[in-house]
């Protein structure tokens, strides 16, 4: 069913009883052309682009829990493409461009809001580094503007701009096309569109082991039985190493908890996204009015989706340095997602040492913004056997050849 | 907040410590292949469960030590010296 103004009017006149489920729950078939492990944004986007771009429709997405219940439901919904190196800039800006057309493409309102994203400079060194960063972005064809303190203040008057602040704000830089999107809608939109192409979306189905023939992976054994496939894609973020170990290889990945929290809803106060590498805090306001506050990593390996209180304390303190007016806000929810951090802060998209298995991981703290391009490029290598040109620099092999893409800018905040 | 038992100072808050990552990684000889060297530098087991790791009591005695911690529950088991082998 196509969503449109007409379908809303029709629903209003008929008591809204005609809405079908957005996608159909499926039981696994014995065999597929492609299995995608992980029903988050990246996995669902992979299935959608396999069907749409490559005509590969005999596809199953296997999700251990429920759709979008992992990191896709545990992020701060920020989209941006403020990266330094040409390979990264191309990759992330392609993702942002896909986001810009995604609501229409999926026929699902992902509530993209390009409200602009401001990074704050707290020292002369910050300002010099940001001028270099913004220049690199412009050289790569992505607009970016260096801001004075007054310009930052005009964009976000609630910030403490006084020179007496613990970390005074002396300027910053802005990517106007950055902003936020509705995280659940991205997962649900991709799931619905993929299901519309005939993809089976199978929830509560955990992959327990891989099946091999002559050294090649030919399927998986799951909690719902064995499923065979010609090719297998892994899009499991913080659990990539667990699946890799089950398939018999290792990854240059360490899993950390990344946490965020939201306040009670308040009236509109902040209509941009503010990142402060100096305090480690980043803040935006959701459409519901909640202040969404993101933290830096809990810097010890973890698979616990809860986050450390000491990091939470630090991030609240950092946020109050920026916005003293928030001091009486009550926090409603706090959560953590398990992110897959690699040493150069750049993703891995391509083949693995095991024939038949391909992987999309290593996005670390920045996976949400990359969902469209992660799906697009993993689908390409699964369908054609060749890496997409955007993904060529982001192969697992680079950790053995030394050709890293060291994106200190990737995380936005240092890690 | 984890309570980490420093072998010299006793249990202290997590915020006094810095995690130094996986323990017992051995540096390969200098004539190692690029593959061996890359694996040494970057590839990790990253287990979901028990993990032997190094910690530094940065805002305390300044000493490094090893411990075994569960990466799901964050429960801490054995605590032992940097030069000791991992517990069985």
ipTM score of complex: 0.97
Q: Is the pLDDT assigned to residue A413 strictly greater than 80?
A: no
Cβ neighbours, 10 Å, residue B74: 18
pLDDT at B21: 97
Closest by Cβ to A343, choosing from B2, B39, B42: B42
Q: Is the pLDDT assigned to residue A354 strictly greater than 80?
A: yes
Q: Is the pLDDT assigned to residue A310 strictly greater than 80?
A: yes
The average pLDDT across A311-322 equals: 94
- Whether chain B has a CB inside 8 Å of the CB on A71: the answer is no
Rounded CA-CA distance B24/A255 in Å is 19
For residue A243 the two structure tokens come to: 């699946």
Using pLDDT thresholds of 50, 70 and 90, give the confidence band for residue A279: confident
Question: Which residues, listed in sequence order, are joined to residue A262 by a DSSP beta bridge?
Answer: A292, A333
Closest by Cβ to B43, choosing from A309, A399, A401: A399
Closest by Cβ to B46, choosing from A301, A310, A400: A301
SS3 of A1-15: the string is CCCCHHHHHHHHHCC
Closest by Cβ to B34, choosing from A242, A251, A401: A401
Closest by Cβ to A255, choosing from B15, B46, B73: B46
Contact B55, B74 (CB under 8 A): no
pLDDT at A297: 92
Task: Write phi, then psi, for A273 (nearest 5 degrees).
Answer: -100, 130
Best residue in B46, B51, B56 for a mutation probing chain A (most A CBs within 10 Å): B46
Nearest residue to A60 (alpha-carbon basis) of A208, A211, A224? A224
Using pLDDT thresholds of 50, 70 and 90, give the confidence band for residue A414: low
Q: Which residue of A has its CA nearest to B14?
A: A310
pLDDT at A411: 61
- For residue A299, the chain B residues in CB contact (below 8 A) are 18-19
The average pLDDT across B9-27 equals: 96
Q: Is the pLDDT assigned to residue A326 strictly greater than 90?
A: yes
pLDDT at A415: 46
CB contact under 8 A, A399 and B21: no
- For residue A343, the chain B residues in CB contact (below 8 A) are 41-42
Q: Is the pLDDT assigned to residue B20 strictly greater than 60?
A: yes
Percent of chain A with pLDDT over 70: 99
- Whether chain B has a CB inside 8 Å of the CB on A254: the answer is yes
Q: Which long-range contacts (CB under 8 A, 24 or more apart) does B79-86 make?
A: B79/B5, B79/B7, B80/B7, B81/B7, B82/B54, B85/B24, B86/B23, B86/B24, B86/B52
- Whether chain B has a CB inside 8 Å of the CB on A304: the answer is yes
**Angstrom distances, CA of residue A78 to CA of A188, A238, A282, A283, A303:** 17, 19, 10, 10, 23
Q: Which residue of A has its CA nearest to B47?
A: A242
pLDDT single digits (tens) A223-269: 999 999 999 999 999 999 999 999 999 999 999 999 999 999 999 99
pLDDT single digits (tens) A15-33: 988 888 999 889 999 999 9
Non-local (6+) Cβ contacts of A367 within 8 A are A41, A42, A71, A75, A237, A339, A374
- Whether chain B has a CB inside 8 Å of the CB on A330: the answer is no
């Amino acid at each position: 069913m196509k969503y449109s103004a007409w379908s809303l009017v029709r629903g209003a006149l008929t008591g809204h009883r005609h809405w079908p489920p957005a996608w159909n729950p499926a039981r696994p078939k014995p065999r597929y052309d492609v299995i995608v492990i992980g029903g988050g944004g990246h996995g669902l986007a992979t299935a959608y682009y396999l069907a749409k771009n490559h005509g590969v429709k005999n596809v199953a997405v296997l999700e251990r829990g429920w759709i979008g219940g992992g990191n896709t439901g545990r992020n701060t919904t920020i989209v941006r493409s403020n990266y330094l190196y040409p390979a990264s800039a191309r990759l992330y800006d392609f993702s942002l461009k896909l986001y810009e057309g995604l609501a229409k493409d999926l026929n699902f309102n992902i509530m993209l809001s390009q409200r602009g994203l401001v990074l704050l400079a707290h020292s002369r060194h910050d300002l010099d580094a940001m001028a270099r960063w913004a220049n690199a972005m412009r050289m790569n064809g992505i607009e970016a503007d260096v801001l004075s303190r007054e310009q930052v203040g005009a964009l976000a008057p609630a910030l403490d701009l006084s020179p007496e602040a613990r970390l005074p704000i002396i300027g910053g830089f802005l990517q106007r096309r950055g902003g936020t999107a509705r995280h659940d809608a991205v997962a649900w939109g991709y799931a619905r569109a993929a299901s519309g192409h005939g993809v089976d979306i199978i929830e509560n189905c955990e992959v327990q082991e891989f099946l091999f023939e002559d050294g090649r992976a030919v399927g998986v054994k799951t909690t719902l039985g064995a499923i065979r496939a010609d090719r297998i894609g892994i899009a499991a973020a913080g659990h990539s190493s667990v699946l890799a170990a089950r398939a018999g290889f290792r990854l240059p990945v360490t899993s950390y908890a990344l946490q965020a929290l939201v306040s009670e809803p308040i009236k509109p106060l902040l209509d941009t996204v503010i990142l402060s590498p100096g305090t480690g805090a980043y803040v935006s306001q959701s459409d519901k009015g909640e202040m969404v506050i993101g933290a830096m990593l809990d810097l010890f390996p973890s698979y616990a989706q809860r986050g450390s209180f000491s990091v939470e304390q630090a991030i609240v303190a950092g946020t109050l340095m920026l916005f003293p007016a928030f001091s009486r806000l009550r926090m409603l929810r706090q959560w953590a997602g398990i992110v897959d951090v690699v040493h150069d802060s750049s993703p891995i998209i391509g083949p693995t040492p095991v024939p038949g298995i391909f992987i999309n991981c290593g996005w670390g703290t920045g996976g949400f913004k990359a969902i469209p391009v992660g799906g697009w490029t993993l689908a390409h290598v699964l369908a054609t056997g060749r890496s997409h040109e955007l993904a060529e620099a982001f192969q697992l092999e680079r950790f053995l050849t030394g050709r890293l893409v060291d994106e200190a800018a990737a995380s936005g905040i240092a890690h | 907040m984890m309570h980490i038992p420093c072998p010299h100072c006793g249990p202290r808050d997590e915020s006094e410590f810095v995690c130094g990552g996986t323990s017992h990684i051995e540096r390969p000889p200098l004539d190692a292949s690029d593959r061996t060297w890359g694996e040494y530098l970057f590839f990790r087991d990253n287990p979901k469960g028990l993990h032997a790791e190094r910690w530094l009591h940065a805002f305390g005695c300044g000493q490094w030590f090893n411990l075994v911690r569960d990466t799901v529950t964050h429960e801490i088991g054995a605590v032992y010296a940097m030069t000791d082998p991992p517990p069985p």
